Amino acid sequence: MSESNDFLKFLINEDIYVIDGQNEEPPVVEAKEAPVVVEAEKAIEAPVAAKIIIPAKPTKPKHEVIILFDNPIAETLPAVDMAYLEKILGAIGLSTEKVDFLNVAKHAPSVSGYAYVIAFTPNHQLPVSVSTQQYVSVKLGDAQLIVADALNNISVSKDLRLKLWGVLQQVFK
């Protein structure tokens, strides 16, 4: 796994300063307290292991469109978002049965072989410039990439709905 810290720019939005002398290793505890330290280390390791993103299994795309979304709680989109996505896809002549889905919170995205990639998350983890604008069609290899906000945000904002509709009309003429 890469030791890149690029993901931190999505998590941390303010400057971080290291104060001299504050980043030293904590003192070693004598043997009496060793079992407590071991248990604390196990407790610390468990959450880190839970954040590991499993690479998506390379498979031949079943459809020409893939929908990327970010749901750390479950493998699939919430039912409310799925119903809203069905309406969006219906407006461009597609349905949820005619697209593939990938949860980027659970799997690293692999989009080769797709003609269209619609990411309903700015945290899509695709190899594109961080400055890629949302609601603009961008070339990603052989595919057209559209980056948008999460479906729950789009559903409550008329401005975001209009932006999404505009780019979808351009791409899916």
Q: Write the CATH number for 118.
A: 3.40.470.10
Decide if 118 is inside a domain. Answer: yes
Answer yes or no: pTM beyond 0.75.
no
Q: What is the pLDDT of residue 45?
A: 43
Same structural domain for residues 99 and 150? Answer: yes
pLDDT score at 6: 61
How many domains, the chain?
Answer: 2
pLDDT at 51: 43
My answer on whether 44 and 70 are in the same domain is no
SS3 content of the chain, % helix, strand, coil (to 5): 35, 15, 50
CA distances from 172 to 87, 126, 134, 159 (A): 15, 21, 17, 20
**Residue 84 and residue 108 in one domain:** yes
> What pLDDT score does 40 carry?
43
Question: Closest by alpha carbon to 50, among 78, 77, 75, 72?
Answer: 72
In this structure, what token pair is assigned to residue 65?
């469109």
**Mean pLDDT per segment of 10 residues, for the chain of length 173 residues?**
56 59 53 44 42 49 85 88 92 90 83 87 72 79 87 91 91 84
94 and 150 fall within a common domain: yes
Q: Compute the radius of gyration of the chain from its Cα atoms.
A: 21
Residue 1 lies in a domain: no
| 60 and 90 assigned to the same domain | yes
